[in-house]
Chain A
Amino acid sequence: MAERIIIDARGSFCPGPLMELIARLKFGAVGEEFEVLSTDKGSASDIPEWVRKVGHELLGTREEAGVWHITLRKTK
C-alpha cells in the first residue's frame, strides 16, 4: 500500500482546498488514499459532500488544533 498523499491546503478558502484535492486526484491511482488539511471550516463539510456526490470513498473527517483532516480513497 502506497503512502497516503497529503494535500496541505491550510490557509486557503473555499473552494481552494476542494480544487487542490481534485487537481491531485486527477493524477492519482485508483485505491490511493488522500488526506486534505484545511483550516477552512466550510471546506471541512463541503469536501465530504463532494466525495459522496462523486462517489469516492470517504474515510473520515476529524479536527485537530483548528485543522481539519479529511481522508478519502480514490475509487475510480
Chain B
Amino acid sequence: MAGSSRISIVVVSGALERLQMAAMMASVGAVSGNEVTVFLSMNALQYFRRGAAAPAPEGAFGKTLVEKKAPGFKQLFQQAAELGDAKIHPCSMAVDVLGVQPAELEPWLLEPLGLTRFLSDAQDGQVWSF
C-alpha cells in the first residue's frame, strides 16, 4: 500500500483527552495499513486493567466528549488491535511498579515490552507521545 509506514505511540498520561487522542491515532493508523505499536506506561497503564473505569475528563472538551458519547479510548485501542493488527504492549517497568499480573490487564494487550525492544521497533518510523 502506498504511503504506509511504522507508527510508534508512547502513552504515559492518565488524562482522558490524551488517552483518547492516542487511541484515535492508533486505530486510524492501524486500519490504514500502517504497522502500529503502542507502549503504555506511567499514569496510563492503570486504566488498562481489565474492566477499569476511564479517568474523569480533565477539561471542558473532555466533558463534551463524554456527554456526546464519542467512542471510548479502550474501544478504539481494541479496534486498533483487532481490525488493524496494532501491537499494544504494557511497559514492562510499569507492570513491575504497579505490581500487576499480565492476566489482570485487558485481554487485547500483548506481553510486557521493554524499552530496548520498543526503541529498536520505533527506528525509522513516526513516533508519537501522549
What is the chain A residue whose CB lies nearest that of B3? A53
* A55 partner residues in chain B, CB cutoff 8 A: 1
Nearest chain-B residue to A26 (Cβ)? B83
The digit string for A1-40, where 1 denotes a CB below 8 A from any CB of B, is 0000000000111111011001100100000000000000
Asked, given contacts A15-B27, A53-B3, whether A23 binds B70 with beta carbons under 8 Å apart, the answer is no
Q: Decide: B32 and A19 in contact? CB cutoff 8 A.
A: no
Chain A residues with CB under 8 A of B32: 50, 53-54
A53–B24 contact, CB under 8 A?
no
B28 interfacial by beta-carbon distance below 8 Å: yes
Nearest chain B CB to A74 CB, angstrom units: 14
Q: Is the CB of A53 within 8 A of B1?
A: yes
**What 5 pairs between A and B have smallest CB-CB spacing?**
A13-B70, A16-B71, A19-B79, A22-B31, A15-B28
Q: Are B2 and A13 in contact (CB under 8 A)?
A: no
Chain A residues near B65: list those with CB within 8 A. 13
A12-B71, A15-B28, A15-B71 known; A53 vs B2 contact (CB < 8 Å) = yes
Within the complex, what minimum Cβ distance (angstroms) separates A72 from chain B? 14
B33 contacts partner chain A, Cβ-Cβ < 8 Å: yes
Q: Is the CB of A53 within 8 A of B79?
A: no
Complex interface residues of chain A between 40 and 74 (CB less than 8 A to chain B): 46, 50, 53-55
Query: What CA separation (Å) do A69 and B3 show in the bound complex?
Result: 27
Q: List chain B residues, Cβ under 8 A from A26.
A: 83
Across the interface, which residues of B come within 8 angstroms of A50, CB to CB? 28, 31-32
In the complex, besides A13-B71, A19-B79, A54-B33, 16 extra interface pairs with C-beta distance below 8 angstroms are A11-B69, A12-B71, A13-B70, A15-B24, A15-B76, A18-B31, A19-B76, A19-B83, A22-B79, A22-B83, A46-B28, A50-B31, A53-B2, A53-B3, A54-B1, A54-B31
Residue on A with the closest CB to B28? Answer: A15
- Complex CA–CA separation, A19 to B28 (angstroms): 8
Q: Chain A residues near B2: list those with CB within 8 A.
A: 53
